[in-house]
Structures are given as structure tokens and as C-alpha cells.
Amino acid sequence: MELLRAASARGSLGWPRSWACPSCRSQAATSRSRQLRPSSRPSSRPSSRLFATTTPSLSTTPASEPSKPYYVTTPIFYVNASPHVGHLYSMVLADVLKRWQTLVGKTALLCTGTDEHGMKVQQAAASNSVPPKVWCDENAAKFEELAQRALIDHDRFIRTTDPDHIDAVKHFWFLLQEKGLIYESKHEGWYCVSDECFYPDSLVAKKMDPFTGEVFMASNETGNKVEWTEEKNYHFRMTALKDKLLEFYDKNPNWVVPASRMNQVVKWVKDNLEDLSISRPANRLSWGIRVPDDDSQTVYVWVDALVNYITKAGFPTWTPGREEEGGWPADLHVIGKDILRFHCVYWPALLLAVDLPLPKQILSHAHWTMDKRKMSKSSGNGVNPFLAIDRWGVDTMRFYMIHDGGIAHDSDYNNSVIASKYKKLLQGGLGNLLSRTTRTVYWDLGEVIASRQSKLALAHQDPLKELFTNHKEALLRLFPAVADRMAQLDPSGALKIILEAVAEANKLISDTTPWTLMRKGDDTRKAAAGEALFMAAETLRIVGILLQPFIPKKATELLDRLGVSPERRTSQFAEPGSDFDYAVTLATPAEKWYDTEFLFPPQPVLE
């Protein structure tokens, strides 16, 4: 028993306070009000006395389904070149947030797609000597393939060349005209083809190319070259919406995440807001949607692109009084920080102009860099996401994107870091815990779970009682803590909390050495071993449920190996003691070690 006492002293399992928000920490473990969906089959196993007071009662009354689904979008991606890993990050972020909503029982929609009009696309097609539509078809297919390869659970892959989108843009233009918010005027200003926008004098400056010595005017925000342009086009009276924009920002201070970018948006509107040029002469830009009733002008690509979000939601043919059924207003736009102004100034102004509700929140993530330089198509330093998925596997790439990807600050892509995280956190953490729990000849996990109630003496007299009680209480805090981080649009923080649970369960197994207790111990020691194994199994089951949005293939494989029933893989079962009917389909102990592959096998050595 000295070994067990020492283990108890070492493993207090007071998991980090960051696991739970203050309100969650202040609640007793038994106060959760979530109701569990009834099992599709009766349980043949009695519930544990230890968990009897903390397991929520089942309810047969289904929750009412709201008419509006949760609607999340990625940016639509330019097809002037092939995708890089930065595009993969936007897709995976949005997908994780969409899958999370599904996990907690909501109907959720995800839209992604491609932005196929504008000067950049026109020039890219011309430089490759192909018609613009052919160029768009070829490159849109690459982005759609990336979505499939990355397991993006999208409900529509929209293209701005889609007929229903073109109709939506034209109708939106008519609405702006009806409001008297479009006028024709000569426009003079600094135009950036790369950024597809005009910049005021206050936001451009001279810049010198360090390699060629060329001096040119460039955007202060992006560093991209600008050229002085004079042309006659249509303008949107965006300055007429200035007060409404500032009022909206003031009433919704958390509209943009992170807060630093919300501050940038407010400052830009206060200091730099101008009427917006929303068309280009067709003799200069022929590849795009022509302005209704004026074929000499092409609709500005950003007006065209932004409307995609409501096209997906059914605009303009949605049924009056039932507009929300298509998802609008979007619950979340996921965007990169380089397109902040278009989504957080232009888009809300356009929506306010036509009396449509604004998206509920914007998540503006940082960039992936290579050697501390932003990945971009023009610089040629982008990581090919297809090769990365081939090399590391889709779940490993999704894991790395979320774990190391930045929201407020940029992240530097590094293959050595991916290898290290895989070995330590996936192979040595989650995979190791599964192997230690199931790949053994010393016990049958199904029998351990089935006989859970018989371990009564341990709860009353064993020195490890506190250790196991602390672990159980930490598991009770796990889902609320993860949900809190997800509500704050912090998937990385949520993932790290889940990994802490895995680390603590591995520590519990190391401290109690159940393989020794099972072989040599008396009934009390075997009871202690059974308790440790039950805690480890419950950690695996709950973690497997919570990891489904992040690493869907491996999480499914984990839950399959544990024998968790498919209908018991929702957040309603992400609590210890909520499911005793698993592990019965595992291989017999004699088969486990020899015939079961590792969840995360060793990776090839980096060259």
C-alpha cells in the first residue's frame, strides 16, 4: 500500500484553473442542467454508486429546434492561383466551429467557395493564355478538392460565377439604387490590383524594392503596389452610413474577435471612411458581373464577393417571414486579418443600406508565415496543403492548424514542429493512453466497466480515494471548460484543455500502475487498478467525443475502438458516468496486443 499512498500524494489532479470559466468553477459538479438523450437500448449494467448523484436524469422530451440554423462561413478564395496552407487554416477553423455546433445539438450550416471575378483573376488567366472561365473552373476545382481532402463539412461550395449568385448581386444592386445610395462620378485615387481596392492618400507611401531599388507607391496596410487611376464609375454613399456604423460598433463591442481588430475597424471608420467606388469600366475590367442596365461598367469585385454569404442563405428568393431558415444573419464569418476592412466596414455598410441584418460576429484570424514571412501566392512561399496532408495525414494537419494557428498573432509553419507535436501529443499522449488502456492481456476493459459498481471498498477506505475523486471532478469540469473556450471563438484553447485531460489520465495510469496491481495485488489493489482503468476509459470516451470537431477521422476511430455507440457520441454524453454500455465489442485480451494497430503509428523520420 505504500506505493499507492505515494501515488496518491503525487497525483492530486488539481487540474489547471484555466479549465473552467469562473461560473463553471463556482458550480458544484452535480449542478449541470444538460439533459441526456435516452439510449436507444436499455442498459444491462447498474450505474455506479460513486456517480449516482452526478449523472443527470434522462429526458424523453426533445428540445425544440429553432428555425434558424447556426450559419458559419469561410472567406471565398481568389482563384488567381492554387491554394496554400493559409486557405486550409481558414477552412479548418470554420469547420471546427461548425462541427462543434452540431456536436452540441444544433443544426449548423457551413459555406465555403471561390471568388472568381476581378482584375487579379483576369490578369492571371491572360498570363496563362486561357479564357477566364476556363481558368476559374480549373482553380475552383482545386479549392473544392482541398475542402474534400481536409474533411470540411460544408453545405455548399459557392462560386461567384454561379447563376443564382449573379442574380443575387444584380438584385442587391437594384436595392441600393432604390435607396438612392448609388451615384455616378469621376473617381481619382490610388488603386491596388493585388488588393482589389482604392486607397486614400493617407494610406499610401513611397516604398523601395530592396532587391531592384525601384521606388513606387504602396499601400501602408499591405505593402502592395498602387497606381494612380482616373475613371468614371458608380459610387456607394458609404459616408451616409457612418453614424449607423459607429453606433453599431458601440453597441456590439465584441463583434470582431480579437478585440484589437475591433479597435482597428472603429478607427478606420472614424478617420478614413469615404464613399466607395463600386464599379469599374468594362473596357478595363471585362471579367465580372456587368452593372444592371449599364454594360459599360462591371460590378466591383468586393460587392460581388460579399453578397455570396446571403446568396447561400437564399437571397433574394427567400420566403417573406422565413428568411432565417437559410441561416441569415450569419452567426460567424471566419476571415483572415488582411480582409478585415471589406468584411467589417464595407459589408455592414452595404447591409445597413438595404435594411438587412448584420452578421452576428466576425472571427479575424492571423496569418501563417514561412520563415516569419507571410505566405502568399505572389511571393511563392506558400505551403502546398495537398502535399502536407499527404505527408502528415489529414487529422494531423487539422490538429496542427488549430493547436498552433494564431488568432491575434501570426504563426510560423514548421515541419519539425509538426513532427514534435505529433510524437508528443498525439502518439505519446492520446494514442499512448488508448494503448495502455486497451492493448493488454492483463484485463478486459469491458469487464472493468461492467463491474464498476463492485469497487465499493475503495471509495470508503483506500488512500487513493482522493486521487480518483479529483480526477472524476476534473472530468465533470471538462465539457463546460471546453464549451467556454469555443464560445469565445478559441478552438486552440479548447483543444489544449482536452489535451490536458489526456495528460492527466496518462499520469493517473503511471502513478497507479494497474498492470502490477492486477497481476500481484489483493482484492483491494485490484479494485484500485479497476478504478484507475475506469477513469482512463472515461477520459478516452469523453475526449473522443470532444475531439470529433477537431480530428474527425481519428476521433471516430478512437470511439469505434472503445465500442461507443454512435448515438452516444454527442456532447450530452461528455460527462463521466453517462454511458456504461461501451467496451463490450473490444477484442479479447489475448488478441489486443498483437492484432490492434496503434491509433497514431510512428511517423517517418524527417529528411
- Asked if residue 577 and residue 437 are part of one domain, the reply reads yes
Is 200 in a helix, a strand, or coil?
coil
What local confidence, expressed as pLDDT, does residue 473 receive? Answer: 93
Phi and psi at residue 198, to the nearest 5°? -90, 150
- Asked if residue 427 and residue 406 are part of one domain, the reply reads no
Q: pLDDT tens for residues 120-171?
A: 999 999 999 999 999 999 999 999 999 999 999 999 999 999 999 999 999 9
In DSSP terms, 218 is beta-bridged to: 205, 225
What is this structure's pTM? 0.84
What local confidence, expressed as pLDDT, does residue 465 receive? Answer: 77
What integer is the mean pLDDT of 22-47? 35
Look at residue 36 and tell me whether its pLDDT is greater than 70. no
Residue type, 450: A
What local confidence, expressed as pLDDT, does residue 314 receive? Answer: 96
Q: How far apart are CA 512 and CA 251, in angstroms?
A: 54
Residue type, 531: E
- Asked if residue 546 and residue 479 are part of one domain, the reply reads yes
What integer is the mean pLDDT of 458-487? 84
Asked whether the beta carbons of 442 and 589 are under 8 A apart, the reply is yes
Question: Poorest-confidence range of 252-256, 282-286, 492-496?
Answer: 282-286
What local confidence, expressed as pLDDT, does residue 61 receive? Answer: 35
Question: Poorest-confidence range of 26-30, 293-297, 422-426?
Answer: 26-30
Letter string b/e over residues 235-272, b meaning 16 or more CB atoms within 10 A of that residue's CB: bbbbeebeeebeeebeeeeebbbbeebbebbbebbeee
Q: Any idea which residue has 524594392 for its cell?
A: 209
- Asked if residue 149 and residue 129 are part of one domain, the reply reads yes
Angle between helix 119-127 and 132-149 (nearest 10)? 100
What CATH number did the domain enclosing 136 receive? 3.40.50.620
Q: Which of 369, 389, 412 delimits the end of a domain?
A: 412
* Structural domain contains residue 199: no
Average pLDDT, the chain: 84
* Structural domain contains residue 46: no
Nearest CA among 234, 190, 238 for reference residue 347 = 238
Task: Starting at the earlier edge strand, list the strands of the sheet with 373-374.
Answer: 373-374, 368-370, 411-412
Sequential DSSP letters for 553-603: HHHHHHHHHHT--GGG-SGGG-STTS----STTSPPHHHHHHHPPPSSPPP
pLDDT band at residue 34 using 50, 70 and 90 as cut-offs: very low
Nearest CA among 369, 404, 603 for reference residue 496 = 404
Helices (H) and strands (E) in the chain, counts: 24, 18
* Structural domain contains residue 383: yes
Burial class (CB in 10 A: 0-12, 13-18, 19+), 396: buried
Its domain, for residue 135, covers 70-180+241-273+295-412
Question: Which residues, 6 or more positions from 176, have their beta carbon under 8 angstroms from its beta carbon?
Answer: 182, 236, 350, 353, 354
Look at residue 6 and tell me whether its pLDDT is greater than 70. no
Q: Which of 412, 443, 466 delimits the end of a domain?
A: 412
What local confidence, expressed as pLDDT, does residue 462 receive? Answer: 59
Look at residue 43 and tell me whether its pLDDT is greater than 50. no
- Asked if residue 333 and residue 301 are part of one domain, the reply reads yes
Q: Which of 377, 412, 447 delimits the end of a domain?
A: 412
pLDDT band at residue 110 using 50, 70 and 90 as cut-offs: very high
The number of beta carbons lying within 10 Å of the beta carbon of residue 585 is: 12
If one counts the domains in the chain, the total is 2
Angle between helix 394-404 and 491-512 (nearest 10)? 110
Is 386 in a helix, a strand, or coil?
helix
pLDDT band at residue 194 using 50, 70 and 90 as cut-offs: low
Please tell me the total number of residues recorded for the chain in this structure.
607
What integer is the mean pLDDT of 74-94? 95
* Structural domain contains residue 495: yes
- Asked if residue 349 and residue 319 are part of one domain, the reply reads yes
Q: How far apart are CA 4 and CA 21, in angstroms?
A: 32
- Asked if residue 439 and residue 402 are part of one domain, the reply reads no
* Alpha-helix runs per DSSP H in 151-192: 163-178
pLDDT band at residue 19 using 50, 70 and 90 as cut-offs: very low
Residue 5 or 388, more confident: 388
- Asked if residue 427 and residue 474 are part of one domain, the reply reads yes
- Asked if residue 447 and residue 406 are part of one domain, the reply reads no
Residue 102 or 40, more confident: 102
What CATH number did the domain enclosing 530 receive? 1.10.730.10
- Asked if residue 257 and residue 149 are part of one domain, the reply reads yes
Question: Poorest-confidence range of 65-69, 107-111, 146-150, 230-234?
Answer: 65-69
Letter string b/e over residues 361-392, b meaning 16 or more CB atoms within 10 A of that residue's CB: bbbbbbbbbbeeebbbbeeeebbebbebbeeb
Strands, E assignment, 54-104: 70-78
- Asked if residue 549 and residue 446 are part of one domain, the reply reads yes
- Asked if residue 466 and residue 368 are part of one domain, the reply reads no
